[in-house]
C-alpha cells in the first residue's frame, strides 16, 4: 500500500504477469496525482487491472486520470482494464457515459 493520507488506499499486486491496482476510499483531485504516479510506474508489458470494488467516490479528476491512463496504455500497446466497480461508482460512470470502460 502506498502510504499517503489523502483518502485513497492504493494496493499494487502482481500475479502471473497481471498487475492489479486495488483502490479504496475516495479518488478525488487530491488523490488523482498520486494515482497517476502509481499507474505511470506500471507501464509496460502485461495487463494492468484496476479494481474499483472498494472505491466509494470518484470525481471528475479521478475519472480524467483513469481515462488518461487508458489512453496511455493504448498508445504503448498494453491492456488496461477497470473492474468490480461499486454500485455508486458504476452509476457515476453511467451518468458521464464511461460505462464502456468497465469490465
Q: What is the DSSP string of 46-80?
A: S-EEEEEEEEEEE-HHHHHHHHHHHHHHHHHT--E
Q: Check pLDDT > 60 for residue 3.
A: no
Residue 3 within a domain: no
What are the grid coordinates assigned to 31, written together?
A: 488523490
Q: What is residue 70's predicted lDDT score, i.e. its pLDDT?
A: 93
Residue 19 within a domain: yes
Task: Return the CATH number at 65.
Answer: 3.30.750.24
Look at the chain and report how many structural domains it folds into: 1
Q: What is residue 103's predicted lDDT score, i.e. its pLDDT?
A: 66
> For residue 68, what are the β-bridge partners?
none
Residue 12 within a domain: yes
Residue 2 within a domain: no
Q: Give residue 64's domain range.
A: 8-101
Cα–Cα dist 30/73, whole Å: 23
Three-class SS state of 29: helix
Instruction: Kindly report, residue by residue over 23-69, the tens digit of the pLDDT.
Output: 999 999 999 999 999 999 997 788 999 999 999 999 999 999 999 99
Q: Check pLDDT > 60 for residue 1.
A: no
What are the grid coordinates assigned to 99, written together?
A: 460505462
Residue 54 within a domain: yes
Q: Check pLDDT > 70 for residue 4.
A: no
Are 22 and 54 a contacting pair, CB within 8 Å?
yes
Q: What is residue 71's predicted lDDT score, i.e. its pLDDT?
A: 93
Amino acid at each position: 500500500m502506498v502510504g499517503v493520507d489523502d483518502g485513497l488506499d492504493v494496493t499494487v499486486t502482481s500475479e502471473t504477469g497481471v498487475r492489479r491496482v486495488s483502490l479504496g476510499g475516495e479518488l478525488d483531485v487530491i488523490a488523482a496525482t498520486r494515482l497517476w504516479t502509481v499507474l505511470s510506474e506500471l507501464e509496460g508489458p502485461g495487463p494492468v487491472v484496476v479494481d474499483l470494488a472498494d472505491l466509494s467516490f470518484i470525481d471528475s479528476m479521478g475519472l480524467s486520470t483513469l481515462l488518461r491512463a487508458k489512453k496511455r496504455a493504448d498508445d504503448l500497446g498494453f491492456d488496461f482494464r477497470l473492474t468490480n466497480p461499486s454500485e455508486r461508482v458504476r452509476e457515476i460512470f453511467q451518468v458521464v457515459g464511461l460505462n464502456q470502460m468497465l469490465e
